[in-house]
A and B are shown apart, each in its own frame.
Chain A
Amino acid sequence: MTRDKIIYISINYILLIVFAFAGITKLLEQEKFYTNLVNSPILELPSLVIHIIAWLIPTLEVFVVIGLIWKRFQVQAIYLIVVLLITYIIYTLAILLVAPYSPCSCGGVIALIDWTQHLYLQIGLLSLTFVEMYYHFKISKN
């Protein structure tokens, strides 16, 4: 196994564990996730839209996990991760810079970190995803 492949697979596992944890936790704590979104200081949306978002986000995260496991859909999964992480970063920046107050962060172990740390985590994961993307295309070419 080449060094490139080891890096690629390692990042793949990190992303798989992070997204599986995030998605499953949100599905298990669906009501709590919905309550967090309803109480968000920047999402002033109708209840139905919040309900859809509360189901859509964890569903997409589960799709990411399936895509990362299933080799055929790995590229799509990587693109979806980029879209999700950019969305999270924009939301976190809005919370930090625009919102009148910072609400409860979110569920899971990640609830232990504040919004600034969340932002660093998301930027770190996005950087890892770009590295993953680079190695994916590099390995595919060879």
Chain B
Amino acid sequence: MKIKMLLPVLALIFATGMSFTTVSASQNAISGFVERTPGNWQAVNVDCQGNQECLVQFAGEPQTHQVYATMDKSQPLNGSGEVIILNP
């Protein structure tokens, strides 16, 4: 009887642990940088895939920003061309 309850709980603990590990690993991932205001670079975690520009827009702000691989404008990242909305 005990094993009937214990095994699902162990499976749940396993899945919970896996979730926390995955989340903490993905939080450290920075995919690019944007120049939010002149000279002020901010790291962003966005999915840039495609052959066009990788553009982001912070919610509530009118301007869009190109995502760059480094904190200068030498390596713009390619994306879908669609503007990705981020929470500021």
Binding site for B on A (CB under 8 A): 12-13, 16-18, 20-21, 24-25, 28-29, 31-32, 34-35, 38-39, 41, 65, 68-69, 100-104, 107-109, 111
Number of A-B contacts (CB under 8 A): 75
Q: Is the CB of A21 within 8 A of B15?
A: yes
11 chain-A/chain-B pairs, Cβ below 8 angstroms = A12-B8, A16-B8, A24-B19, A35-B85, A35-B87, A39-B82, A39-B84, A68-B8, A100-B82, A108-B22, A108-B26
User: A118 vs B12: C-alpha distance in the bound complex, in angstroms?
Assistant: 23
Q: Is the CB of B47 within 8 A of A25?
A: no
Q: Is the CB of A25 within 8 A of B12?
A: no
Q: Is the CB of B85 within 8 A of A29?
A: no
Q: Is the CB of B47 within 8 A of A104?
A: yes
Residues of B within 8 A of A100 (CB): 82
